[in-house]
Structure formats: C-alpha cells, structure tokens
Amino acid sequence: MKPLDAWTERLTRAAISEIDRRAVAASETARALVLEQLEAHRGESAERALEDHDALHGWAVLGRVLADAGASPSLAAQVVDALVEATDRDERVTASAAPSRSALVEAFVAAQRELAELRAAQAWRFPKCVVRLDETTAAVAASFPDDDGDALARWADEVAAGLAKMGIRRVHADGAAPARAALASALSVAGIGMTASPYRAR
C-alpha cells in the first residue's frame, strides 16, 4: 500500500466523527505535499532532514487545512503518529516526529483561534447588529469585536450602507467607543444621524 493510502487509512480509523472523516479527505493534497518533502530527503541523515524549514512549513499548512475542515483536536493530535505507523517507523519520520507535531499543532490552534474570531465578528455584522424601531429609526449594537481601525471602518461602512438602503435616517447606537466612533463617521457620510441609545445605562 502506498504511504499516502496507508496514512489515510489510519487517520480514517482514528476519526471520531463524520466531520473528521471529511477532514481526512480534505487534507489529502496537503498530506501528499508532506510526503513529497520526506521523499526529497531520502538518503539524507535524519539530522539533515530536521533542518529543512520547507518540511515544517508543510506540516503547518496541513495543520491549517485540518482546522479549516473542522477536524477535532483528537484527530489533529494523531496525524504525525499515524504517519509514523504508515511508514513502518521510517527513521526520518520518527526522528522528525516531535518538531513535525509541534508545527502542525501550533498552526492548527492558531487557525482555530482565527476562525473563532471570524465567527465572533460575523455575529456583529449587518444586519445582525441592527433592530429597526420604526420606518426611519433603527438601533445598532456597535460591539464589533476588533480594535483594528481598518476593520472597524469596513464594518461601519457596511452597516451605514445597509441602513441607507433600509431608508433609515436616525440611529441609536450603543457599544464600544471605537466602534461607535467608526459608525458615527460612516453614518455621517451616508447622511444618517446617530445618538446614544436611549436605553443606555446612565
């Protein structure tokens, strides 16, 4: 059995859900690239193979692919060991298991954190952050979870454009000061007035 097929078989057995099984399939190309890097070092010492930054980058790419596919931490934690077994404990694979695992897990965790931040931001985008109060008035929850000025400006522009299409002329807004400031600026350009929420605690 080819190494990639053997690796896939072991990972499929390690999968704890249908999502994990789909992640195994989605990661095939990234795993093939990892194997190509290993093949490129055939005949070299294990120490020399460990110096290859491209190989570690390949593991990092694989970690991100798995995270994007929704793989469980349990599956991600077994990827390297599954390859060790699939290659009959090839010396190069075994010697590089620890740094390979570190590169994969670090990238997996970083990608999951970025995905969580993205989902949090999506929850505050237009129209989810808007409640229409009457024909020309709306309330906006200005709590977009990002301190980056450019990201806040893009959020505020999107909200202002959406409100203008709704025919809104006045907005009550509450939330974080940076988000309210960005929103006030965008609403001003759109010709929409903004006041603090009348329900804001005093």
**Is residue 60 located within the same domain as residue 81?**
yes
**Is residue 17 located within the same domain as residue 83?**
yes
**Is residue 101 located within the same domain as residue 159?**
no
Domain hosting 11: range is 3-117
**Is residue 75 located within the same domain as residue 136?**
no
Which has the closest alpha carbon to 139: 71, 52, 53, 197? Answer: 197
Q: Which pair of structure tokens corresponds to residue 144?
A: 């977009």
Last residue of a domain, one of 52, 85, 117: 117
Last residue of a domain, one of 117, 151, 179: 117
Q: Is residue 201 part of a domain?
A: no
Q: How far apart are CA 84 and CA 80, in angstroms?
A: 6
Count of domains forming the chain? 2
**Is residue 78 located within the same domain as residue 137?**
no
Last residue of a domain, one of 96, 117, 138: 117
Q: Is residue 12 part of a domain?
A: yes
Average pLDDT over residues 183-198: 88
User: What is the percent of the chain where pLDDT is above 90?
Assistant: 66
Average pLDDT over residues 84-88: 90
Q: Is residue 83 part of a domain?
A: yes
Q: Is residue 103 part of a domain?
A: yes
Under the banding of pLDDT at 50, 70 and 90, the label for residue 68 is very high
**Is residue 15 located within the same domain as residue 57?**
yes
Residue 52 pLDDT > 80:
no
Summarised one tens digit per residue, pLDDT across range 1-28 is 799 999 999 999 999 999 999 999 999 9
Q: How far apart are CA 146 and CA 143, in angstroms?
A: 9
Q: Is residue 122 part of a domain?
A: no
Q: What is the pLDDT of residue 90?
A: 76
**Is residue 102 located within the same domain as residue 137?**
no
Q: Which pair of structure tokens corresponds to residue 75?
A: 């599956």
Q: What is the pLDDT of residue 149?
A: 86
Q: How many residues does the chain have?
A: 202
Average pLDDT over residues 44-71: 79
Summarised one tens digit per residue, pLDDT across range 99-151 is 999 999 999 999 999 988 888 888 888 999 999 999 999 999 998 887 788 98
Residue 156 pLDDT > 90:
yes
Average pLDDT over residues 41-54: 58
**Is residue 189 located within the same domain as residue 108?**
no
Q: Is residue 47 part of a domain?
A: yes
Q: What is the pLDDT of residue 191?
A: 94
**Is residue 12 located within the same domain as residue 49?**
yes
Q: What is the pLDDT of residue 76?
A: 96
**Is residue 44 located within the same domain as residue 140?**
no
Under the banding of pLDDT at 50, 70 and 90, the label for residue 202 is very low
Q: How far apart are CA 13 and CA 181, in angstroms?
A: 52
**Is residue 39 located within the same domain as residue 76?**
yes
Q: What is the pTM of this model?
A: 0.68
Question: Sheet of 130-132: strands edge to edge?
Answer: 130-132, 137-142, 170-175, 193-196
Residue ranges of E strands in the chain: 130-132, 137-142, 170-175, 193-196
Q: Is residue 192 part of a domain?
A: yes
Strand partners, 139: 131, 172
**Is residue 86 located within the same domain as residue 34?**
yes
